[in-house]
Amino acid sequence: MTPCRHCANIAPAGNRGKSISFEYVPELVSSRTARVCRYQGPWCTWGRRVADQLFSDGEVYERLMGRWSRLVGKAFLAWLDTAKKLQWLDVGCGNGAFTEEIIAHCAPATMVAIDPSDDQLAFARMKHEANIADFRSGDAQALQFADASFDVAVMALVISFLPDPAKAVSEMARVVRPGGWVAAYMWDVPGGGTPVDPIYVEMEAMGMTSVRPSNPEVSRRETMQELWEKTGLGAIETRTIRIPVSYSNFNDFWDSNTAPIGPQGKLIEGMSPGAREELRTRLRSRLPTSDGRIVYESFANAACSSPDFSHRHVLRRRSLAPG
């Protein structure tokens, strides 16, 4: 049996016979040959240090994007207004931030969450150790579940990263029972709704390639409506969710958005000192301030097909009907 290369442990009694797997954690090591002992995580001292560091990276992510995606996620779930005790699928769950919101606000009976990134799933599993969520590896465009196996399928801030968004929506429709909820939301990328949009704009003005998601057009509200219609889903509603984005001052904005995690932070870290300073100066003069605070609005578009919406349509029609 292979011992952990960091702490030289082998699996303790009870776990002997299982193979030890190692995992690449890009937040911690820059080389694919340096790996973390996953299987021995709970008792490997090196693995524990890694876990601590991952959590603090999670905090950096929270400051960069997590706090804004939570705000929009809460508003989205309030809009869906589902019943409790349903069977949920979270497609493209990432580090589990939105999964956590579903569990907190919708009291699901079961919660399955999929993502293709093993690193993100490892982080989500550590965070959700005692929770009901079942995190699995999977692809939105080829869901590994039987037809009609969920009440609700949601896809949060994922659709613009997919090469084939139509396939993903039809896959969600397939695995949801007739009359269930098929829903998604994404920052309005072409409309400038992403919280980091000022950075995209200024990098592009400097002639650099920013790190916009690869499929921005699908995040338009009318494109999402069309996609849901083409999938053959009924009772469709779309909406734009607006959230306030606010930083205590320019340094808070800069430090939050330039931490060297994720593609944007790494791109900024790799800029020459002169180019970084130019980006900083451009952003400082562009960003709206109020009493030193930087405050602006970000917005996401959401689409949903659900029985409750047809019910709401009936109610609305009735309340509008004369007499």
Q: Does 94 bind ligand SAM (CB under 6 A)?
A: yes
Provide, rounded to whole angstroms, the least separation between the CB of residue 227 and ligand SAM: 16
CA distance 94 to 130: 18
Provide, rounded to whole angstroms, the least separation between the CB of residue 199 and ligand SAM: 15
Q: Are 102 and 108 in contact (CB under 8 A)?
A: yes
Hey, is 276 helix, strand or coil?
helix
Instruction: Choose, by CB under 6 A, the member of 93, 189, 196, 259 that binds ligand SAM.
Output: 93
Q: Are 205 and 289 in contact (CB under 8 A)?
A: no
Q: What is the DSSP letter of 321?
A: S
Q: E strands along 172-322, which residues?
A: 176-187, 236-247, 289-290, 293-305
Q: Does 265 bind ligand SAM (CB under 6 A)?
A: no
Residues near 80 by beta carbon (within 8 Å), at least 6 away in sequence: 152, 154, 181, 183, 304, 306
**How many CA atoms lie less than 13 Å away from 250 in the CB half-sphere?**
12
Residues 286 to 315 in contact with ligand SAM, rule: CB under 6 A: none
In this complex, which beta carbon is closest to ligand SAM, that of residue 4 or of residue 218? Answer: 218
Place of tokens 């996620």: 73
In this complex, which beta carbon is closest to ligand SAM, that of residue 6 or of residue 187? Answer: 187
Number of chain positions touching ligand SAM (CB under 6 A)? 19
Q: Are 39 and 29 in contact (CB under 8 A)?
A: no
In this complex, which beta carbon is closest to ligand SAM, that of residue 86 or of residue 102? Answer: 102
Q: Does 243 bind ligand SAM (CB under 6 A)?
A: no
Instruction: Choose, by CB under 6 A, the member of 50, 71, 97, 259 that binds ligand SAM.
Output: 97
Residues 109 to 128 in contact with ligand SAM, rule: CB under 6 A: 115-117, 120
Provide, rounded to whole angstroms, the least separation between the CB of residue 136 and ligand SAM: 11
Provide, rounded to whole angstroms, the least separation between the CB of residue 7 and ligand SAM: 29
Q: Are 295 and 288 in contact (CB under 8 A)?
A: yes
What x/- string results for residues 132 through 161 when contact with ligand SAM is judged by CB under 6 A? -------xxx--------------xxx--x
Q: Does 189 bind ligand SAM (CB under 6 A)?
A: no
Provide, rounded to whole angstroms, the least separation between the CB of residue 120 and ligand SAM: 5
Provide, rounded to whole angstroms, the least separation between the CB of residue 142 and ligand SAM: 8
**DSSP codes, 113-153:** EEES-HHHHHHHHHHTTTSSEEEEE--TTS--S-TT-EEEE
Nearest residue relative to ligand SAM (C-beta): 94
**How many CA atoms lie less than 13 Å away from 203 in the CB half-sphere?**
17
Strand partners, 91: 114, 155
Instruction: Choose, by CB under 6 A, the member of 112, 122, 133, 162 that binds ligand SAM.
Output: 162
Note the residues at the interface with ligand SAM (CB under 6 A).
69, 91-94, 97-98, 115-117, 120, 139-141, 156-158, 161-162
